[in-house]
Amino acid sequence: MQQPHGGTLINRVAKEGEGRAILKELSEKGFYRLELSREQAVDVENIAFGVHSPLTGFMGRREVEGVIANARLGDDTPWTLPIVLWISRADLAQAVEASGGSLLGSPLLLSYQENNFAALRVSDAGEFDKATYAKGVFGTTEMEHPGVRRLYEEEGEVLLAGEITLLKELDAPFRRYKLRPLETRLLFQEWGWKTVVGFQTRNVPHLGHEYVQKTALTFVDGILVNPVLGRKKPGDFRDEVIIEAYQELLSHYYLRDNSVLAALEYEMRYAGPREAVHHAIMRKNFGCTHFVVGRDHAGVGDYYGMYEAQEYFKQFPDLGITPLPFKSFFYCRRCGGVVNDRICPHDPKEQVNFSGSRIRAALQDGNGDLDGLMRPEVVKVLQGRSDLFVEKE
């Protein structure tokens, strides 16, 4: 079985009696209840269930500086994307006051929609320069980048760090599809999969995706199709659309004994190469031994090179999961299927590229030609719907 990143699959879910003890401590001491956004709350859950192993909590300023400068944790474990909790100066001041003037070591109650679901024991709190953060993580400070815009417009000024304990799970849609790392690992073990390829997606499947997945599947025992659910940028496909489309694809065109569909709730950062490596780390924690790295993986606009993420993986020979890079593929009318530029001899006029904008335009038009681009069962799920895309953040 694949080792978790850092060697240990983290479990920060309160054990029997532990939750009551934490709540008792909170009631006896002065504490502050911090209300989180959905995305922050999901980060808490992902830490607790080991998706972000070996992290046990949110990263502090020195850890973030190390990740930005070296793309590694303090013990030299590869790590490319800070997992942080930004809070406002006002929240920090109120938390300090509630704790009697000394926040370090103090417990905070974490809440989402006034539902107390976790606790955080503070190890560090302080302001961090957002320009430094943006340039280091996203490679730009331009507000047109969705990750930079959210950083400046929605996040506080202070990084709050500390170990978390999950007291109870969040309510969430698509619960039956949201498998945890421990669950996928048990599933792979039960099915006898020793090698597993992870495929991340935030799109509905076209024949190009299927070509990549099945090509990768020829080298391993099984595939984890792992679509990202949660907040995305306008123009991305909605969660329910992605799930329904993949249900149809897998039920009609994949073997049941070597494929599994399991969703991951996670906020896309659109941090390009850095996020691509982190996507691989998360799938390593799910038990994957291989990971598909596509063109412009985790990219947005023209901020990153088409194959920059694939090149970035070469800096981490000790990552512990094998990247499978895929480059040029298309549908060839003469070949009658999906091919790549290494095996197709035909004129480019015979080639139909898998353009996301083209597929979106065809779906929005309602009468667009999707022949050779998508399976008919998938098209049936998509055509005629008015709720295909995220309209606003």
pLDDT tens for 330-375 read 999 999 999 988 899 999 999 988 877 788 888 877 666 787 789 9
Choosing from 203, 258, 322, 340, the catalytic residue is: 203
Active-site annotation holds for 8 = no
The closest alpha carbon to 64, from 89, 82, 44, belongs to: 82
Region for 303 from its dihedrals, namely left if φ exceeds 0, alpha if ψ lies in -120 to 50, beta otherwise: alpha
The closest alpha carbon to 252, from 386, 380, 348, 134, belongs to: 380
Choosing from 150, 180, 185, 202, the catalytic residue is: 202
Active-site annotation holds for 203 = yes
Q: Which two tokens stand for residue 79?
A: 């790590």
CA distance 393 to 390: 7
Active-site annotation holds for 56 = no
The closest alpha carbon to 205, from 197, 196, 214, belongs to: 214
pLDDT value at residue 81: 98
Any bridge partners for residue 161, and if so which? 124
The closest alpha carbon to 180, from 322, 40, 53, belongs to: 53
pLDDT value at residue 306: 94
pLDDT value at residue 368: 64
SS3 35: strand
Is 357 or 126 the better-scoring residue by pLDDT? 126
69 pLDDT band (50/70/90 cuts)? very high
Read off the pLDDT of residues 229-288 as tens digits, 9 standing for 90 and up. 998 888 889 999 999 999 999 999 999 999 999 999 999 999 999 999 999 999 999 999
Q: Which domains does the chain have, with CATH numbers?
A: 5-166 (3.10.400.10), 176-325+375-382 (3.40.50.620)
pLDDT value at residue 341: 84
Is 352 or 124 the better-scoring residue by pLDDT? 124
62 has pLDDT over 70: yes
**Contact of 382 with 365, CB cutoff 8 Å:** no
293 has pLDDT over 90: yes
118 pLDDT band (50/70/90 cuts)? very high
**Helix pair 273-286, 181-191: axis angle to 10 deg:** 60
Q: DSSP string of 236-269?
A: SBPHHHHHHHHHHHHHHHS-TTSEEE--EE----
Pairing of strands 32-35, 107-112: parallel
pLDDT value at residue 70: 98
The closest alpha carbon to 179, from 36, 334, 301, 46, belongs to: 46
pLDDT value at residue 305: 96
Rg of the chain in Å (alpha carbons)? 22
Average pLDDT, the chain: 94
CB atoms inside a 10 Å sphere around CB 115 = 13
